[in-house]
């Protein structure tokens, strides 16, 4: 099957920032993204878990598949949001079918 080079950007960010991040991604011309729930984790700011929590606490993982040439503008948009916030951004090489979608 014909595959096309793409980038898989995974942004783990505080749930309260999700709306701002996805708005920024869309402004940067991203055509789609997927939000995965996160149950818990640990980092420099300690351990946390979603169990029993109320309110928009915790983190989410936003996964975004994009064409390589759009990576830079996506990262800039994402970083404007993530910069001062707790969060992790990673970028991996991947391949997608139906490249016209991205």
Partner 1 sequence: MQAMMELAADNLLSPIILSFVLGLVAALARSDLAFPEAVAKGMSLYLLFAIGIKGGVAVAGNGMDMQLGVSLLAGMALSALIPFIGFAMLRVMTRLSVVDAAAVAAHYGSISIVTFVAASSVLDAQGIVFEGYMVAVAAAMEAPAILSALWLISRKGGGGADGGGHLWREIMLNGSIVLLVGAFAIGWIVGPEGKAEIDAFITAPFKGILCLFLLDMGLVAGRGLRQSRGEVRGGVLAFGLIMPLIGASLGLMVGLLIGLSLGGTTLLMVLSASASYIAVPAAMRVALPAANPAISLTLALGVTFPFNLTIGIPLYLAVATAILGS
Ligand X SMILES: Nc1ncnc2c1ncn2[C@@H]1O[C@H](COP(=O)(O)O)[C@@H](O)[C@H]1O
Up-side HSE of residue 55: CA atoms within 13 Å toward CB? 5
88: contact with ligand X by CB under 6 A: yes
Site for a second copy in 33-92 (CB under 8 A): 33-44, 59-61, 65, 72, 75-76, 79, 88-92
Site for ligand X in 16-35 (CB under 6 A): 31-34
93: contact with a second copy by CB under 8 A: yes
38, 35, 34, 36: which is closest to 102 by C-alpha?
Answer: 34
Name the β-bridge partners of 63.
10, 34
Instruction: Find the binder of partner 1 among 1, 2, 34, 51 (CB under 8 A).
Output: 51
53: contact with partner 1 by CB under 8 A: yes
């Amino acid at each position: 099957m014909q595959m096309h080079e793409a980038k898989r950007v995974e942004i783990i960010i505080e749930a309260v920032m999700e709306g701002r991040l996805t708005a920024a991604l869309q402004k940067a011309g991203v055509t789609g993204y997927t939000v995965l729930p996160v149950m818990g984790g640990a980092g420099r700011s300690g351990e946390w878990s979603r169990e029993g929590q109320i309110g928009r606490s915790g983190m989410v993982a936003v996964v975004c598949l994009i064409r390589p040439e759009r990576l830079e503008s996506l990262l800039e948009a994402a970083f404007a949001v993530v910069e001062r916030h707790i969060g992790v951004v990673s970028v991996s090489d991947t391949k997608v079918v139906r490249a016209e979608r991205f």
